[in-house]
Amino acid sequence: MKIVPEITRKSITNLINQQERVDGRAMDEFREISLESGIISKAEGSARVKIGNTQIIVGAKPQLGEPFPDTPNLGVLITNSELLPMASPTFEPGPPDERSVELSRVVDRCIRESQMVDLEELCIIPGKKVWMIFLDLHILDYDGNLMDAAALATVAALKNTQIPNTQVEDNEVIMDQEEMKPLPLKEEALMCTFAKIGDELVLDPSLDEEKILSARLSIGITSSGKICAMQKGGDHPLTKEEILKAVKIAEVKTQDLMKHLE
Amino acid sequence: MIFVNDKDLVVPGEILAEDDFHPGRGTFKEENKICSSVVGLIALRNKKISVIPLQSKYIPKRGDVVIGEITDIRFSMWGLDINSPYSGLLPASEVFGKEKRELDKVFKIGDVLFLRVVDVDEVRKVKLGLKGRGLGKFKGGILIYITPTKVPRLIGKKGSMINMIKDKTNCEIVVGQNGVVWVNGDIEMERVAEKVIKMIQKQAHTSGLTDRVREMLAQLTGEELEVSKDTEAVEGEENDNDNASSEDEKDVKQENDTNSSEKDNKNIPREIFESKLNLNHKR
């Protein structure tokens, strides 16, 4: 981690305590967001999201496989993330580090706990054959707030995913590659990340803000307004009031984010 | 025989001239041809051809003044990030002479200093020093990072550009040769200065930049003055005798804090201009 000069830390904090931000945004304002779906023709589902200079590509790959023994009639959802070394000087090649593991787990939790993907529908022969959906998150450029960008890109990729029709004959699965159907989705869920700097909470922290935050809170909310996931980071605590305030802002902002998915 | 014009964009390997020309920075000579070694703009001066790279990293050079951040404290030296592929070293002897004191009581990790490059050896070990007027630790202000090749443009001819920004925003500004700029003043004015400096970086290669900077400054500071007019009607008078009042303020500042403001206002930047005047590619 790069050391942040003391005077930079002070100037950002002072500005935020006066309800202002370095890039001129409001405290609860996202940077510019752009979303493109289906950008990888070889993948069954894909999307690219940019939030400011943060850039993420997500690909979804369905594959037939065996279900986990404890959930014989549910499909399988596996999320993986790659922090590519070109995205930031602090990302190194090799096995996934803490940040990569956290990112994929938080995105996975948001998708899974919102029950967005109808996993029962993905079961073909209970206990034997189910659809396994592999989600691969590739971080191309890191400029803060990976979680919101990753959640948005993942949901967009899932919405874009097509799986082949299947039939069962004599316990054998026959795939019909010609006839594809969209993935069975029930809900949508997106995340909003807040950073506590000074005494204030700011939405969508940029890289500079992320480096000096004292606490971080990511909140996943579904399209029907339920809270489905939360992740706290940073080494300082948050008060109850701060969390309630963050949830309130997140409820509104998630609905705004949903518009990008249409 | 020359194949390019002044301020043309060239790519590495492009043949710039043959025979009676001299290769400058950013070029190399092969047989009798002068070729570019970087992506950049041609700077023609008499018979000397150089290429000024569009983007660069700072390569330390003896005598440069730079702004560095302390990242490491060792037994008898500080380690500094000088916005370069090579990190800088500040030996304790440069700071206390022969006296022995604890290093972390003087400068801590995260402090920002204004230093001089004392020596660069064969393996690019960069020795820094604090001896000289105005060198030392910064208090307050913000840091702005630009590409080091744009530093001469930001300073302008004999400091014209940087002095214009200083006057209009009433900020103290210090430019390091390594592309780190320190700005200290009113919070809003710091933001104005940042915007202007970023704009200069983006448009450094275009002509008529000084006028555009003046326009932008007038627009940005003008807006701010109007805002303050709304809140305090009396303030309006100050606009008319802007010059007088700003100079007064400067004087007060210097009295308050002789050590820090004296250095920043004049002495050091002039040294930078002088050492870099020949690099200035605007005629």
- Residue-wise pLDDT for B245-276, tens only, equals 333 333 333 333 334 444 444 444 444 444 44
A193 has pLDDT over 50:
yes
Torsion sign across C-alpha atoms A152, A21, A225, A105? positive
CA distance B31 to chain A (A): 38
Contact list in B for residue A15 (CB cut-off 8 A) is 187
Domain A6-261: which topology? Ribosomal Protein S5; domain 2 (3.30.230)
For position B215, what pLDDT does the model report?
86
Query: Inter-chain contact B110–A9, Cβ cutoff 8 Å?
Result: yes
For position B2, what pLDDT does the model report?
86
Query: Inter-chain contact B109–A7, Cβ cutoff 8 Å?
Result: no
- Taking the Cβ of residue B198 and every Cβ of chain A, the question of whether any pair is shorter than 8 Å is answered with no
Give the burial class of B155: count Cβ atoms within 10 A of its Cβ; 0-12 exposed, 13-18 middle, 19 or more buried. Answer: buried
Contact list in A for residue B191 (CB cut-off 8 A) is 24
Q: Which of A43, A115, A11 is nearest to B171 (CA)?
A: A11
Lowest model confidence (mean pLDDT) among A164-178, A181-195, B134-148, B179-193: A164-178
d(CA B71, CA B65): 18
Q: What percent of chain A has pLDDT over 90?
A: 83
Domain range summary for chain B, segments of one domain joined by + = 9-53, 65-137, 142-279
For position B251, what pLDDT does the model report?
37
Average pLDDT over residues B204-210: 82
Q: Looking at domain B142-279, which CATH architecture does it have? A: 2-Layer Sandwich (3.30)
- Taking the Cβ of residue B139 and every Cβ of chain A, the question of whether any pair is shorter than 8 Å is answered with yes
Lowest model confidence (mean pLDDT) among A217-226, A235-244, B150-159: B150-159
Please calculate the CA angle B13-B19-B21 and round it to the nearest 5 degrees. Answer: 80
| Closest residue of chain A to B113, computed from CA coordinates | A5
Average pLDDT over residues A150-154: 96
A105 has pLDDT over 90:
yes
For position A91, what pLDDT does the model report?
93
Confidence of residue B157 (pLDDT cuts 50, 70, 90): confident
User: Which residue of A3, A14, A15 is in closest CB contact with B109?
Assistant: A3
Please calculate the CA angle A123-A129-A135 and round it to the nearest 5 degrees. Answer: 70
- CATH class for the domain made up of B9-53: mainly beta
The partner residues of A232 in beta bridges, in order of sequence, read A217
Average pLDDT over residues A13-33: 91
Other C-beta atoms within 10 Å of B181: how many? Answer: 24
B216 has pLDDT over 60:
yes
Question: Which residue blocks in chain B are alpha helix, DSSP H?
Answer: 92-96, 151-155, 160-169, 187-202, 209-231, 236-240, 242-256, 258-262, 268-276
For position B225, what pLDDT does the model report?
53
Lowest model confidence (mean pLDDT) among A32-41, A170-179, B42-51, B216-225: B216-225
Domain B65-137: which topology? OB fold (Dihydrolipoamide Acetyltransferase, E2P) (2.40.50)
Q: Do domains B9-53 and B142-279 have the same CATH topology?
A: no
Please give the backbone phi and psi of residue A41, each rounded to the nearest 5 degrees, phi first: -70, -25
Domain range summary for chain A, segments of one domain joined by + = 6-261
- Residue-wise pLDDT for B66-124, tens only, equals 999 999 998 889 999 999 999 999 998 888 877 777 888 889 999 999 999 999 998 88
Torsion sign across C-alpha atoms B226, B231, B237, B238? negative
For position B99, what pLDDT does the model report?
74
**Cβ–Cβ < 8 Å for A73, A123:** yes
d(CA B239, CA B233): 11
d(CA A230, CA A219): 5
Query: Inter-chain contact B110–A14, Cβ cutoff 8 Å?
Result: no
Pairs across A and B, CB distance < 8 A: 36
For position B262, what pLDDT does the model report?
40
Contact list in A for residue B143 (CB cut-off 8 A) is 5, 7-8
